[in-house]
Structure 1
Amino acid sequence: MGLIHKNNQKAVYKIWLIFFALLFLQQGLISILSANSPPRLFGTVEFKTVLKDMPKWQRVLSAEKKNPTFTDQFHTLLPKNLAEKWQTIEKNFPSFSTQEKLKAVNMFFNQWPYRTDSSLFGLEDYWATPKEFLKKSGDCEDYAIIKFFALKYLGIPEEQMRIVVVKDTIRNLGHGVLAVYIDDNIYILDNLSNTPLSHTTIRNYQPAFSLNSQFRWAHLPVKKKK
């Protein structure tokens, strides 16, 4: 009986060793996955789907594919003073720091005056192509769209950028911005600010969805523990 009891103790001891080994392994894997996973936009949980049922955005993509706005001759579409500024940005862009790159493009297109869709196109919601924006200006998502294509032309991979539709909880309004994923952070390019800000510093934006030319993401807020 004593021998059986000792064998039982050894078996239980081995089971506990295996349990703790698996527990530590699981925690290690979670840490690794967390370290390698991208930051969560405005702290939300996101669900990735194929891009569909977005006719306003798909019209912009189609227009840019057929006749790109950003080429070596882009400066010819601009007034002389702005053309010179753009050529300076384009020339110096490779030597800029991350913040300088984003700020230069953000500030450049924020020079266009804000115009509502109803005043320009007689519609409640219209997504302008970059060429339409250059001619007429636009509203919040139109700034985000032209910055998206400008940064893509200047060498920022499209996979690192998204147009984001959010709710501004302070103004209680829908709003559009550009999110750029760089250096384990997400920078927000906004027509309301010339300085790109980390998404972690912006508390009043709740993203509804984000997209690029291939995918769309739905965003859900994380419930805070009481």
Structure 2
Amino acid sequence: MLLLVSQAGAELSAERVVQLYGAQTERLYREWQRLVLTLRREPNESIRLRDVNAFFNQRIRFAEDIEVWKQVDYWATPLETMSRGAGDCEDFTIAKYFTLRELGVAPEKLRLTYVKARIGDAASTVTQAHMVLAYYVTPAAEPLILDNLIGSIRPASQRPDLTPVFGFNMDGIWVAGSKTPNSGAERLTRWRQLLDKMHAEGFLP
């Protein structure tokens, strides 16, 4: 089932956020609200991408799930990430994805994408699992990559350190190289759990 992000997140009151996650979350949440309200008036989608990418890269500290959540693998909602001020690559990607959807970026343009990230120089064969947000101007276009590892948004061809494995969004799952989704994203248990949490928060309608 396709779920659409409305303006619910930006309209969720700061008081409700404090009730859920404590007073320490309010400052960052209000900054996020201002970002969303400002960028809704920005017609240039490239600027929206740039500013959303920078917002989370600059304000969220990278930390592994075991440190932040005392779990090996945990997908945090954007509000949960703001509450801790820290997250791993999946949390950065999730926060950017839902913020851009909040700003009206078409769902087919965005995919949360698992990659193998090369560690070391070009000759290295050592990789680790990583997640980035891929933006497609058109379905057949080369994607732009929003990544917490670097500040700039670059075309995929300029990120030879990343090898795509699969991407997904509300519409389905794309195995690397596929032009059409192979299955529905509801197969991803952590994705379903994430959406349930966001509905409970009131971030998703």
Paired residues in the alignment total 159
Deviations along 1:60-84, one digit per CA (max 9) or x if unpaired, are x8xx98xx97232366645447624
Alignment of 1:132-151 (within 5 A): 132-136=80-84, 137-151=86-100
Q: Given that residues 115 and 130 in structure 2 are in contact (C-alpha distance below 8 angstroms), is that contact kept between their aligned partners in structure 1?
A: yes
TM-score, normalised on structure 1?
A: 0.60
1:201 maps to what in 2? 158
Distance 2:156 2:13 in 1: 30
Which protein has the larger Cα radius of gyration, Structure 1 or Structure 2?
A: 1
Decide whether aligned partners of structure 1 residues 213 and 89 sit closer, same or farther in structure 2, where only a CA change above 3 A counts: closer
1:113 partnered with 2:70: no
Structure 1 segments (4+ residues) deviating >6 Å? none
Sequence identity of aligned pairs in percent?
30
Distance 1:88 1:153 in 2: 11
Moved more, 108-117 or 87-96: 87-96
Alignment of 1:90-109 (within 5 A): 90-109=37-56
1:70 partnered with 2:18: no
Decide whether aligned partners of structure 1 residues 89 and 169 sit closer, same or farther in structure 2, where only a CA change above 3 A counts: same
Deviations along 1:160-190, one digit per CA (max 9) or x if unpaired, are 1110011112352111100111264411111
Decide whether aligned partners of structure 1 residues 125 and 87 sit closer, same or farther in structure 2, where only a CA change above 3 A counts: same
Q: Given that residues 116 and 128 in structure 2 are in contact (C-alpha distance below 8 angstroms), is that contact kept between their aligned partners in structure 1?
A: yes
Shift of 1:220: 5.5
Decide whether aligned partners of structure 1 residues 177 and 88 sit closer, same or farther in structure 2, where only a CA change above 3 A counts: closer
TM-score, normalised on structure 2?
A: 0.66
Which of 101, 107, 111 in structure 2 is aligned with 1:162?
A: 111
1:125 partnered with 2:73: yes
1:29 maps to what in 2? none
More helix by share: 1
Higher relative contact order (CA 8 A, sep 6+): 1
For the residue of structure 2 that corresponds to 1:182, the secondary structure is coil
Distance 1:138 1:129 in 2: 10
Shift of 1:120: 2.0
2:20 maps to what in 1? none
Decide whether aligned partners of structure 1 residues 185 and 96 sit closer, same or farther in structure 2, where only a CA change above 3 A counts: farther
Query: Over aligned residues, Cα RMSD in angstroms?
Result: 3.0
Distance 1:185 1:98 in 2: 16
For the residue of structure 2 that corresponds to 1:162, the secondary structure is strand
Shift of 1:132: 1.5
Alignment of 1:27-46 (within 5 A): none
Decide whether aligned partners of structure 1 residues 88 and 149 sit closer, same or farther in structure 2, where only a CA change above 3 A counts: closer
Deviations along 1:125-164, one digit per CA (max 9) or x if unpaired, are 2211222111122100110001111000101011111100
For the residue of structure 2 that corresponds to 1:145, the secondary structure is helix
Q: What one-letter code is carried by the residue in structure 1 that aligns with 2:48?
A: K
Distance 1:204 1:131 in 2: 30
Deviations along 1:22-42, one digit per CA (max 9) or x if unpaired, are xxxxxxxxxxxxxxxxxxxxx
| Consecutive unaligned residues in structure 1, runs of 5 or more | 1-49, 52-60, 222-226
